[in-house]
Amino acid sequence: MATAYYEFYRGSSIGMALTDSLDELITSGAITPQLAMKVLQQFDKSLADTMVKQVKAKVTLKVRIPSSYSPMPPHSPSFHLCLSRINASVVAQGYLDTYRNCDDVWTFIIKQASFKMEQNEMITTPRIKIIACKNGDAIEAGRK
């Protein structure tokens, strides 16, 4: 069975450029829509695999949850997020504004976020959206 991959990266600048190029090729008759879909599926797989194998970062996220929020469900992910193959680190802090889980994809909206980089440089932003999901290997393992 083929592994499912998320289509998050299609919205990136490179993903949009690829989609635009494929649309032009379809319109000109150079490729079929079926071939364009195969190219997009390979793009999804390649980017997901690259993120797992090549990204070498660690993020520790400290979030203050307003007292008006109901408790997070017991199956919710930890707010300490770590990526594999660590060789860099960032500490982030902020206030949890919104969280949701749909089809094992967690979305967190953090307000008043600040990031402390490795060289103690501080970066702040009024709002950040974090999307957390299983990688392709974890999705496939869940089916077994």
Domain ranges of the chain: 8-54, 58-143
More confident residue, 129 or 68: 129
**Topology annotation, domain 58-143:** TATA box binding Protein, subunit D; domain 2 (2.30.18)
Domain 8-54 adopts which CATH fold? Helix Hairpins (1.10.287)
- pLDDT recorded at residue 49: 83
The single residue listed with the structure tokens 């077994």 is 144
Structure tokens at 69: 């929020």
Each residue's pLDDT tens digit, 57-95: 666 666 666 555 554 444 444 343 333 333 456 677 888
- CB proximity list for 17: less than 8 A, separation 6 or greater: none
Higher pLDDT, 8 or 16: 16
Q: Do domains 8-54 and 58-143 have the same CATH topology?
A: no
Rounded distance, CA 74 to CA 91, Å?
24
